[in-house]
Amino acid sequence: MDTQVAANISTDDGLPFYLPQGNEVALFEHAYRHRLPMLIKGPTGCGKTRFVHYMAARLGRPVYTVACHDDLTAADLVGRHLIGDGGTFWSDGPLTRAVREGAICYLDEVVEARKDTTVVLHPLTDDRRILPIERTGETLQAPPEFMLVVSYNPGYQNLLKGMKPSTRQRFVAASFDFPAPEAEQAVIQGETGIDSKDAGLLVRLAGALRALKDHDLEEAASTRLLVYAATLMQGGFDVRAACRAALVEPLSDDEDTITALMEVVDASLPR
């Protein structure tokens, strides 16, 4: 399972680099102080994970990130008995660790997880703020510093995987999208050190590629992919090769679509 503690990208103030898009910083702080769980909606690669890591660092709390997938069960979150040299022993899952330590637990793409996970999330997201661990008979009371944050991409939603209203209603929610052009340019420059001319070019190109999204592609060129393209350009790749590797090939396997996307790239490049 993909769990990790804290982000390793830091700026002068020791915090991960994050450029706010609206009132999300104040909203998160308010939720944290009032012990409310938070739900973040938005497309892949628009900055949700970076935001949570930034907020955790700002609030001085560790963060446990779990990338949810369709095999993820309640036991993956809570923990399980393992067999070691001295017999069986209990091993906390990331959610249990976060509750014990008063950390932030971030469940990315939570709608992917198995339905049995809601059984452990519900008592943690209402007034009780408890985590019953059935296997050990323990019930943990979450300390004030514990916060549950979940995210999902509404674009992936289908009827089966939609989040149940009874679950959604427990969260303070915010919608994210790709940053506005100027902000996205600042993000690309902040992440890679690329100059403003090239960053501006990538943002304009992303605008043209995103306009095609609903026609041919399931996913839009994300801020993450723009950062990758800028990183390649910083490493010496020419802009066309960087765009192909970072903005075109990751979005489609279909030859015709790749050709069409490269035409958009070529039309956007200065002659």
Question: What Rg, from alpha-carbon coordinates, does the chain have?
Answer: 21
Give the nearest distance from C-beta 83 to ligand ADP in angstroms: 35
User: For ligand ADP, which residue of 224, 230, 248, 265 counts as binding (CB under 6 A)?
Assistant: 224
Residue with smaller CB distance to ligand ADP, 21 or 96: 21
Asked if residue 205 binds ligand ADP (CB under 6 A), the reply is: no
Residue closer to ligand ADP (CB basis): 78 or 150: 150
Confirm or reject binding of residue 15 to ligand ADP (CB under 6 A): no
> Does residue number 246 form part of the binding site for ligand ADP (CB under 6 A)?
no
CB of 4 to ligand ADP, least distance (A): 12
Q: Does the footprint of ligand ADP cover residue 66 (CB under 6 A)?
A: no
Residue from 187, 203, 221, 248 in contact with ligand ADP (CB under 6 A) = 187
190: tokens are 């902040």
Q: From the CB of 44, what's the least distance to ligand ADP, in Å?
A: 5
Of 17 and 156, CB closest to ligand ADP: 17
Position 17 contacts ligand ADP (CB under 6 A): yes
Whose Cβ is closer to ligand ADP: residue 19's or residue 75's?
19
Instruction: Dump the DSSP string for the chain.
Output: --EEES-----TTSSPP----SSHHHHHHHHHHTT--EEEE--TTSSHHHHHHHHHHHHT--EEEEE--TT--HHHHHEEEEEETTEEEEEE-HHHHHHHHT-EEEEETGGGS-TTHHHHHHHHHSTT-EEEETTTTEEEEPPTT-EEEEEE-GGG--TTTSPPHHHHTTSEEEE--SPPHHHHHHHHHHHH---HHHHHHHHHHHHHHHHTHHHH-SSPPPHHHHHHHHHHHHTT--HHHHHIIIIIGGG---HHHHHHHHHHHHHHS--
φ/ψ of residue 165, rounded to 5 = -55, -35
Residue 95: CB minimum distance to ligand ADP, A: 19
Which region, judged by CB under 6 A, interacts with ligand ADP, from 41-49, 92-100, 230-238, 255-263? Answer: 41-49
46 touches ligand ADP by CB under 6 A: yes
The answer to whether 45 contacts ligand ADP (rule: CB under 6 A) is yes
- Label residue 102 left, alpha or beta by phi (over 0 means left) and psi (-120 to 50 means alpha): left
> Of the listed pieces 17-25, 163-171, 236-244, 253-261, which binds ligand ADP according to CB under 6 A?
17-25
- The distance of closest approach from Cβ of residue 254 to ligand ADP in the complex, given in angstroms and rounded to an integer, is 23
Q: Which residues bind ligand ADP (CB under 6 A)?
A: 17-19, 21, 42, 44-50, 179, 187, 191, 223-224, 227
